[in-house]
Structure 1
Amino acid sequence: MDKKDSIYGISYFVYTILITIIYSRLFVVPDMFSNLEGRFYAKVLYRTLFGLPINLLYVVPIFIILKIRKQGLRSVGIKKDKILKSIIIGTIAAMPMSIYTMAKMNYSIKVINPNILENIITFVELLIFVSFIEELMFRGFLQTRIQGLIKNKWLSMIVVGLIFSIFHIPAQRAYLEMSLTDFIIYNLLYLGPLVLSHIYYTALYTIDKSILAPVIAHTITNFVNELFILPK
């Protein structure tokens, strides 16, 4: 990748932040999430109806840029080879992060969801609408493009890790109804691990230049968090 790719990458990041801010102001309504608590299928429908449009707004520009730059899907880590290897690597890599997630869990108020169908739907939803989208955006596209400008591997990972962290702020801040300053002050323990998780997922990506391994690891880690619910 060259500096022109980096310019596309930076422009894309600015675009995604603007889209996320607008989306967060329009559709992230804390009272709505509270009303949907315990109503699994209603929550899935809500997240799908409002998540699908913004995910399309996230990924379509990537494919447009690839077309303009005459670059293939392999340049963003979408490959057909070594699929089983990537799945195994992603599954193993998910273990330490899943253990970390479980260590933070409050088992006195949460239990494992016994509904198998709900768990399957949750896993698929996380796989498609969260993990695949974010891995394509940050590990497949942004990380590889920013390296055209920042040649130092570790520095580029830290920079994109910060970008990854910033990307999560608008929606989370809207959900918690906090000012930007308060959110950053009170959620450093949330934002910091996002930078580390980017570095971790990027390391998985670099093994075979494929987003599949980090997609699997990301999905399992998030699923472990969703697996535990409040008793009905």
Structure 2
Amino acid sequence: MGKIRSFFSVDNHYKEEVRNYTRIDGIIAIVYYVFLMVAYFSMGQILLKKQIYLGVVVNLLLVLVCILIVLLRKQKLSSLGITKEKLKNSIILGSFLGGLFLVFNGIIPVLFSKRELISADMVLYNIFYYFVIIGFVEELIFRGFIQTRLYGIIKNDFLAIIIAGVMFSLMHIPFQMSLVNMRLFQYFSENILQLIILVGWHVFFNFLYKKYNSIFTGTIVHGFMNFSSNLFR
């Protein structure tokens, strides 16, 4: 029982950091989120009208803006989960859980189908794209930055997590809505179950972040989750 309780414990540094965030930090996180939503909507419109995908550029820009905000606030990069502390444990847990996704989400389903492995160059690109551009970026922005700073204005732990989860879920709408050329209500009504599931994923990834106060566990798992779904064609 003690080991189970220990597994679900929250890192003490995490607890201390979120207690110190102020209302200003929370407001900045919300303003940043609005900026992110506008950026993703614009990215979707450009893809729809110009057939130009700017996902890599936009996500890297969002990370740079996020880091700049942290530095201007005179906060440490460790407040985004970028830390050497418990790095080994983070990598081990992330690799174990990520490996499960690779096996059960990628390899086993293929054994019962006729899908083929993607080319070697696509494997390498997907490693970069899903682990860095998707996994790292989303973990840093939502678990490392937005979720933690929301505690500056929302002191209830459950409420803060659910609100950040809804924000994470809604983040997927502007780009995807533009991509399939749907209006907001139509997209929302046709994808409501998927949007609810995304809230659940935020809760899961936030748990991984809080356990070691590290971005790396969630980044590895997040990367494997998306990579395994696109390993075969």
TM-score bucket of the superposed structures, by smaller chain: 0.7 to 0.9
Cα deviations by residue, 1:93-137 (Å, 9 ceiling, x for unpaired): 33665677569x698876141534422321122111111111110
Number of the residue aligned with 1:40 = none
1:15 has 2:35 as partner: yes
1:177-192 matches, within 5 Å, as 177-192=181-196
The one-letter code matched in structure 2 to 1:216 is: I
Unaligned runs of 5+ in 1: 33-45
CA RMSD, 1 decimal: 2.5
Q: How many equivalent pairs are there? A: 213
Query: How far 1:192 moved relative to its partner?
Result: 1.2
Q: Secondary structure at the match of 1:70?
A: coil
% identical equivalent positions:
32
Is the CA contact (8 Å cut-off) linking 1:28 and 1:171 kept in structure 2?
A: no
TM-score, normalising length: structure 1:
0.82
Contact 1:77 1:211 in 2 (8 A): yes
Q: Measured at CA, do residues 5 and 81 of structure 1 come closer, stay the same or move farther in structure 2, by a change above 3 Å?
A: same
- Residue pair 2:47, 2:179 contacting (<8 A) in 1 also: no
Alpha-carbon shift at residue 27 of structure 1 (Å):
2.2
Equivalent position to 2:206, from 194, 202, 205: 202
| Match 1:214 to one of 211, 218, 222 | 218
**Structure 2 regions of 5+ residues with no counterpart?**
1-20
Going from structure 1 to structure 2, the CA distance change for 1:56 and 1:119 (only over 3 Å counts) comes to closer
Secondary structure class of the residue paired with 1:17? helix
Task: Name the residue aligned to 1:2.
Answer: 22
Amino acid at match of 1:66: V
Q: Distance in 1 between matches of 2:161 and 2:90?
A: 21
Q: 2:46 aligned with 1:26, yes or no?
A: yes
Aligned position for 2:7: none
Contact 1:111 / 1:228 at 8 angstroms: preserved in 2? Answer: yes
Question: Which residue matches 1:38?
Answer: none
Report the Cα distance in structure 2 between the residues aligned to 1:139 and 1:91, rounded to whole angstroms: 18
Matched, 1:153 2:173: no
Tell me the equivalent position of 1:71: 75
1:110 to 1:3, Cα distance in 2 relative to 1, 3 A = farther
Conserved 8 A contact 1:62-1:141:
yes
The alignment partner of 1:195 has SS state of helix
Aligned mates of 1:180, 1:107 — CA distance in 2? 38
The equivalent residue for 1:136 is 140
CA contact 1:110–1:228 (8 Å) conserved in 2:
no
1:208 Cα shift? Answer: 1.0
Three-state SS of the structure 1 residue aligned to 2:230 is: helix
SS at match of 2:214: coil
